Chains A and B, each alone.
Chain A
Amino acid sequence: MTAFLAIIARDLRLATRVGGDALTLVLFFVMVGVIVPFAIGPDSATLSRLAPGIVWIAAFLSMLLGLDRLFRADDEDGSLTLFRHAALPLEAIVAAKVIAHWLLTALPLIIASPILAVLLAMDFAAWEKTVLSLLLGTPGLVALGTIGAAVTVSLRRGGLIAPVLILPLSIPILIFGTGAIATGNPDGISNAALLFLSAISLVTLALAPFAAALALRLSED
């Protein structure tokens, strides 16, 4: 357990240090929300109707673009080789990195979502539902992303391939995430969609570390 927590702490420390760019992704997230009104017009009614979807797309893009940092730095400085031969199973190490990555990318996004809610004329109820769906859906997104990051870790210029690989597989998360907000139902949240969303997140959290660890092992030089 201490090794598991140590990996999470290590990732958190590395990202928040001088060389790390912990908040750049949040900046990107906010910027997507800023440019959308320029693209679709500033009409508040349209914006508030489309706002949950826009927030989800912004979160989606930010998380997909941030996948590279999962294993790239470790691969470059040799830590990945140590991970592959460590006493702690590689699957557990990947799971620890999933938790750390979620804390570093998804949590700041969710904390920054009020900014987007204001910019996109979201009312409080819609924002609450969006936060809940993001909280339930982003863990699954991070877990799925580790598979893409693990598959492309040995590519020198693998830049955009990991998002391209993971995007088709994460479309169900997007469908149920926005479906849960259920803009057609003003009082409640779509329970079925939330349950599906949670199910997808739980299953990917459970199974993705195995697939990602296998891909990492097979990428060894």
Chain B
Amino acid sequence: MTTEIALKKPNWFSRIANPGQFLAWSRGFVAPLSILTAILFAIGLYYAFFDSPPDYQMGQTVRIMYIHVPNAWLSQFVYGVMAVASIGTLVWRHPLADVAAKSAAPLGAVFTGLALFSGSLWGRPTWGTFWEWDGRMTSTLILFLIYLGIIALWRAFEDQGRAGRVIAVFTLVGALDIPVVKFSVDWWNTLHQPASVLSMSGEHVAPAILIPLLVMTLAFTLLFITLHIVRMRTEIFRRRAESLERQAAANLMA
């Protein structure tokens, strides 16, 4: 007598937890997200370079802000993503959490590096110096080094499963730097300008500059999401390829 096995429809949790499911639904997202990112960049860059006013103090150099600020925000946001993924690994043993964390680390490092680089270029004409050891710049440099350390850790482990759990602990310890970066302009008498968009007393920025800034931030964020999904897919494929290689090697010896 045959028993029918009722195939349950995959629920929302297995869609994000099961690697195969994730590969299936994420495939359809990559192309539309890329196009949307490109459109937003086109709009944002047009506004940033042509349609927004120069600053009364800084002149045309203020346009570097449209690159610098989104990168700086994203450097913290991506670490937040990694921290959440680390909690997912440690607390819920989420199967894709360590894939998410591993994929996000190089992206966050690049955003932080670009924030430091663009900020440095901006500092030369406005402050007269490429670098100053003030609170914001020092803590962002520390964040950059933490990112690089995490990337080095991922490459050092053979067993990626154990790597994911151990690196999750380290990521959460390193997360202590994020509030320092965010509040460094308030805590120290610093060269870097204080928070003007997300400060407690509301926004201090004129709409003509704020709108392009928000468009560029959205563009960069979508860039991160697109690249993150692509990297996660690549990582899942890489792990599958490795396990197939190991199986092939085992069959050879058997």
- Chains A and B belong together in one complex: yes
Interface residues of A, Cβ cutoff 8 Å to B: 147-148, 151-152, 154-155, 157-158, 161, 164-165, 167-169, 171, 211, 214-215, 218-219
A218 to B162, Cβ gap below 8 A?
yes
A211–B148 Cα gap in the complex (Å)?
20
A169 to chain B: which residues have CB within 8 Å?
A: 142, 146, 173-174, 176-177
**Within the complex, what minimum Cβ distance (angstroms) separates B27 from chain A?**
32
Residues of A within 8 A of B172 (CB): 211
Instruction: List the B side residues contacting A147 at CB < 8 Å.
Output: 169-170, 173
Contact A218 B169, beta carbon cutoff 8 Å: yes
15 contacts between A and B (CB under 8 A): A148-B170, A155-B156, A155-B157, A157-B156, A158-B156, A164-B149, A168-B146, A168-B149, A169-B142, A169-B176, A171-B138, A215-B170, A218-B165, A219-B162, A219-B166
Q: Is B74 an interface position by the 8 A CB rule? A: no
The residue among B167, B172, B173 with the most chain A CB atoms within 10 A of its own CB is: B173
Alpha-carbon distance A219/B148, docked complex (angstroms): 21
Interface size on B, residues (CB 8 A): 24
Decide yes or no whether B152 CB sits under 8 A from chain A: yes
Residue of B nearest to A158 (CB): B156
Min CB distance B145 to A, Å, is 4
Is the CB–CB distance between A151 and B142 below 8 Å? no
Q: Which of A151, A167, A168, A214 contacts B167 (CB 8 A)?
A: A151
Tell me, in angstroms, the Cα distance from A148 to B165 when the chains sit together. 14
Q: A147-B170, A151-B169, A211-B169 are in contact. Are A165 and B153 (CB under 8 A)?
A: yes
A71 to chain B, nearest CB (A): 13
Query: B156 — which chain A residues lie within 8 A by C-beta?
Result: 152, 155, 157-158, 161
A161-B152, A164-B152, A169-B174 given; A151·B166 CB < 8 A: yes
Considering the complex, give the chain B residue whose CB is closest to the CB of A218. B165
Q: Which residues of B contact A171 (CB under 8 A)?
A: 138, 142
Residue in B142, B153, B159 whose CB lies within 8 Å of A168: B142
Q: Given the complex, which residues of B lie within 8 Å of A164, measured CB to CB?
A: 148-149, 152
Which residues from B are CB-within-8-Å of A154? Answer: 157, 159, 162, 166
Contact between B153 and A151, CB atoms less than 8 A apart:
yes
Residues 143-161 of chain B, each 1 if its beta carbon lies under 8 Å from chain A, else 0: 1011011001100110100
Q: How far is the CA of A164 from the CA of B146 in the complex (A)?
A: 9
A residues near B143, Cβ cutoff 8 Å: 168
Which residue of the partner chain B has the closest CB to A219? B166
Known A151-B167, A165-B149; further 17 A-B contacts with Cβ < 8 A: A147-B170, A147-B173, A151-B170, A152-B153, A161-B149, A164-B148, A164-B152, A165-B152, A168-B145, A168-B149, A168-B174, A168-B177, A171-B142, A211-B169, A211-B172, A214-B169, A215-B166
The listed residue with most A CB atoms (<10 A of its CB), out of B152, B153, B157, B167, is B153
Kindly report which residue of chain B lies nearest to residue A170, judged by CB atoms. Answer: B142
